[in-house]
Amino acid sequence: MKIRIAHSPDSDDAFMFYPMVKGLIDTEGLEVEHILADIQTLNEEALKGTYEVSAISFHAYPYVADKYLVLPSGGSVGDGYGPIVVSKKELQSLKGLKIAVPGKLTTAFLVLKLYEPDFEEVVLPFDKVMDAVQEGLVDAGLVIHEGQLSYQDRGLFKVVDLGAWWKERTGLPLPLGCNVVRKDLGLENIRKVERVMRRSVEYALKHKDIALSYAREYARDIKEDPDRTQRFVSMYVNERTIDYGEDGRRSVRLLLNMGKETGIIKAPIPEVIFSDEL
């Protein structure tokens, strides 16, 4: 059976998918085709049910829950850290400001709206957000991916780390991205995908050096700095990527319910979220 697996062209996703891409693990007969696209594009494609397996933002999940379930492995969770808001000068507040964001379905955008509901968003590709801040086109920018470690290289200031804010407010890690599997594959194939995804993450964590060597090619601003690449990958590929854990799963539901209660999320929150809950 051939399945398409779509994910972001960033170092943490590259790291966890490396064993699958290179055929280093047993895929149980699944023929895997990899598709690379930025997270906002993946969120939009998931609305159409395009790919059998895809990385998406947790913010997008309620809108695609009729078509997909969340795999228990492959998630990106920030425990006390996460997307950051940066600016060209120090800011005391974001209220009423113009802020560049990497897509309105990203989890980063959802958490920013929970943190400060009153701002004007300017949607840009994630890799253009810091450029817009530097050029003075916006007052601040919401930074995801490797930019969380490289913003200071551009002389920018951190206004808030949304993962740290979430931890302080809830005591929980911040679930950002997940891998989803299409329901119409059927339970047998869904279980197979669960095992293959977990196997890929576990292999990468067990063979970090070669997986990191591959992942560095996708590390953009920090690719020439092996230490920072390793630090970034370790932030988002770890034991929680093998399984979210009880507190991680609790945080997923809390985040989505808060988004719903505040009117940011317009879709219903499903009873069953994770595929292994079936």
Looking at residue 222, its pLDDT comes to 87
Residue 219 has pLDDT above 90, yes or no: no
Domain residues for 159?
Answer: 84-170
> Which CATH number is 99's domain given?
3.40.190.10
Question: Are residues 180 and 72 part of one domain?
Answer: yes
Question: Are residues 55 and 116 part of one domain?
Answer: no
Looking at residue 220, its pLDDT comes to 85
| Residue 173: band (very low, low, confident or very high) from pLDDT cuts 50, 70, 90 | very high
The total domain count for the chain is 2
Looking at residue 76, its pLDDT comes to 96
| Of 34, 59, 145, 207, catalytic | 145
Question: Are residues 251 and 133 part of one domain?
Answer: no
Lowest mean pLDDT among 145-149, 159-163, 256-260, 269-273: 145-149
Question: Are residues 201 and 240 part of one domain?
Answer: yes
- Name the phi and psi angles at 180, rounded to 5: -115, 150
Q: Is 145 a catalytic residue?
A: yes
Looking at residue 166, its pLDDT comes to 98
Looking at residue 247, its pLDDT comes to 98
* End residue of a domain, out of 170, 205, 234: 170
* End residue of a domain, out of 170, 205, 232: 170
pLDDT tens for 45-62 read 999 999 999 999 999 999
* End residue of a domain, out of 144, 170, 196: 170
Interval 105-124 mean pLDDT: 98
pLDDT tens for 118-172 read 999 999 999 999 999 999 999 999 999 889 999 999 999 999 999 999 999 999 9
Question: Are residues 216 and 190 part of one domain?
Answer: yes
Question: Are residues 112 and 26 part of one domain?
Answer: no
Question: Are residues 161 and 88 part of one domain?
Answer: yes
Interval 85-110 mean pLDDT: 97
Question: Are residues 223 and 205 part of one domain?
Answer: yes
For 213, the enclosing helix (H) or strand (E) is helix 208-215
Tell whether 60 is in a known binding site.
Answer: no
Interval 13-34 mean pLDDT: 96
Let me know if 66 is exposed, middle or buried by CB neighbors in 10 A (0-12, 13-18, 19+): exposed
pTM of the model: 0.96
Interval 84-103 mean pLDDT: 97
Question: Are residues 268 and 204 part of one domain?
Answer: yes
Tell whether 107 is in a known binding site.
Answer: yes
Question: Are residues 180 and 165 part of one domain?
Answer: no
